[in-house]
Amino acid sequence: MSLWPVYTGTSEPHDGIEQLPEPPPWRAFDGGPALPTPADDGDTSATSPDRRHRARTYRATDEAVQLVNAALCLRRPLLVTGPPGSGKSSLAYAVARELRLGPVLRWNITSRSTLPDGLYQYDPLSRLYAAGRAAARELPPDSELQDHLRLGPLGTALLPYGRPRALLIDEIDKSDLDLPNDLLNVLEEGQYEIPELVRAARHSPTAEVVIDGTDARVTVTRGRVRCRAFPFVVLTSNGEREFPPAFLRRCVRLELRQPRDEHLESIVRAHLGEPDDRARDLIARFLDRGTDGELATDQLLNAIYLTGAAGLDAASRDELAEQVMPYLSRTRDEPDAF
């Protein structure tokens, strides 16, 4: 049972974020005016059914609860490392739901991702096209710079919200080598500039900019954005690369492992109800096979669901379970069978 009053890992929504201690002096931010948190506790249409289900059913370990609270209190990003299927991305949704932080802002990283992609997107061609159409009709321009600019997930998370927003930067280890270092200054300072709006501030000091995930607009003054409550940032990694020390020292680090024994059974119970003898047998086999290769928890959930829904005899259930639980990788050269 968690002794923290903030994130408890119980999956029941509450206002514990209001009991978050004051930030360390070196992590205090003063952006403003304060913006309200979007009304979403993870159970509304703003979140997909799959992610709502994962947020409700996530079962955090004691270590995860401790380190989530450490990241929240220190106003530092949480770097979560673990094998596929260990619940890295689901953790962000579970924390956002429990603490009522609004819809999770998600930035899916690829090898082509750059820092500006996460901050904002500006389409100069659409603006030029709009100006050309207006000139052809001998009309004043029917759009402004702000109409062709949208904040990205990172840029939205750093707006001056009164409560932290939850930001998931998924699979950071897929990025170009420079991205972790490029993130350092933005996450350290909690602010950024939009050069296009900075230049335009001489003529128009404020701009109404669309934020990530919605059509809502916020006011940006002189092209500068500074956070008020540092966002709850979860960076996930499959452990496929090393990160520079300067990046690592600015993160709280959590390593997730595949669940075992009672923890695994509690996950099955949360998703599919109380396990019967058939499900417990599959859990035992899953744990036994896990010593010979890498498996993911969702493979076990798929096997339990399918073998129960299909109404098969014992031999057919075993065959089906084997087919939907192949090894993701092997630790030694053995046949892939029960």
Retrieve residue 195's tokens: 């050069």
How many domains are contained in the chain?
A: 2
Within a domain: 4: no
pLDDT band at 50 (very low <50, low <70, confident <90, very high): confident
d(CA 138, CA 3): 68
- Indicate whether 83 and 128 sit together in one domain: yes
Burial class (CB in 10 A: 0-12, 13-18, 19+), 124: exposed
Retrieve residue 29's tokens: 């931010």
Residue ending a domain, among 255, 283, 299, is: 255
- Indicate whether 150 and 279 sit together in one domain: no
Within a domain: 2: no
pLDDT band at 243 (very low <50, low <70, confident <90, very high): very high
What stretches of 137-194 show up as alpha helix (H) in DSSP? 153-157, 179-189
Beta strand extents in the chain (DSSP E only): 78-81, 105-108, 120-122, 149-151, 166-170, 191-193, 206-210, 217-221, 224-226, 232-237, 252-255, 293-294, 329-330
3-state secondary structure of 249: coil
Percentage of the residues of the chain whose pLDDT score is greater than 90: 56
d(CA 282, CA 320): 11
- Indicate whether 194 and 324 sit together in one domain: no
Inform me whether the pLDDT recorded for 239 exceeds 90.
no
- Indicate whether 187 and 319 sit together in one domain: no
Within a domain: 60: yes
Alpha-carbon torsion, ordered 92, 216, 13, 304, to 10 deg: -50
- Residue type (1 letter), 208: E
Q: Is the dihedral of CA 116, 117, 121, 125 positive or negative?
A: positive
Least confident of 177-181, 250-254, 285-289: 285-289
Least confident of 58-67, 176-185, 317-326: 317-326
- Indicate whether 250 and 302 sit together in one domain: no
Tens of pLDDT, residue by residue over 189-238, are 999 999 989 988 888 899 999 999 888 999 999 999 999 999 999 999 99
Within a domain: 11: no
Contact 258, 297 (CB under 8 A): yes
pLDDT band at 293 (very low <50, low <70, confident <90, very high): confident
Beta bridge partners of 192: 225
How many Cβ atoms from other residues are within 10 Å of residue 78's Cβ?
A: 23
pLDDT at residue number 84: 83
Inform me whether the pLDDT recorded for 140 exceeds 80.
no
Within a domain: 247: yes
3-state secondary structure of 35: strand
Inform me whether the pLDDT recorded for 330 exceeds 90.
no
Within a domain: 1: no
Tens of pLDDT, residue by residue over 103-122, are 999 999 999 999 999 999 98
Inform me whether the pLDDT recorded for 338 exceeds 50.
no
d(CA 264, CA 171): 24
- Indicate whether 101 and 45 sit together in one domain: yes
pLDDT at residue number 41: 44
pLDDT at residue number 47: 60
Mean pLDDT of 157-161: 97
Residue ending a domain, among 232, 255, 278, is: 255
Contact 136, 84 (CB under 8 A): no
pLDDT at residue number 141: 46
pTM for the structure as a whole: 0.87
Tens of pLDDT, residue by residue over 299-325, are 899 988 988 876 777 777 778 888 888
Contact 300, 268 (CB under 8 A): yes
Contact 109, 179 (CB under 8 A): yes
- Indicate whether 305 and 194 sit together in one domain: no
Cα angle value 40/45/51 (rounded, 5°): 85
Parallel, antiparallel or unpaired: strands 252-255 and 78-81:
parallel
Tens of pLDDT, residue by residue over 95-106, are 999 999 999 999
3-state secondary structure of 266: helix
- Indicate whether 50 and 161 sit together in one domain: yes
3-state secondary structure of 17: helix
- Indicate whether 101 and 196 sit together in one domain: yes
Helix, strand, coil % in the chain, rounded to nearest 5: 40, 15, 45
pLDDT band at 52 (very low <50, low <70, confident <90, very high): confident
- Indicate whether 166 and 301 sit together in one domain: no
Mean pLDDT of 248-266: 91
Among all chains, which residue has been given the structure tokens 């998931």? 168
Mean pLDDT of 233-247: 93
Q: Which domain holds residue 226?
A: 16-255
Average pLDDT along the chain = 86
3-state secondary structure of 139: coil
pLDDT band at 35 (very low <50, low <70, confident <90, very high): very high
Residue ending a domain, among 212, 239, 255, is: 255
d(CA 165, CA 103): 8
- Indicate whether 247 and 266 sit together in one domain: no
Within a domain: 299: yes
- Indicate whether 188 and 276 sit together in one domain: no
pLDDT band at 148 (very low <50, low <70, confident <90, very high): confident
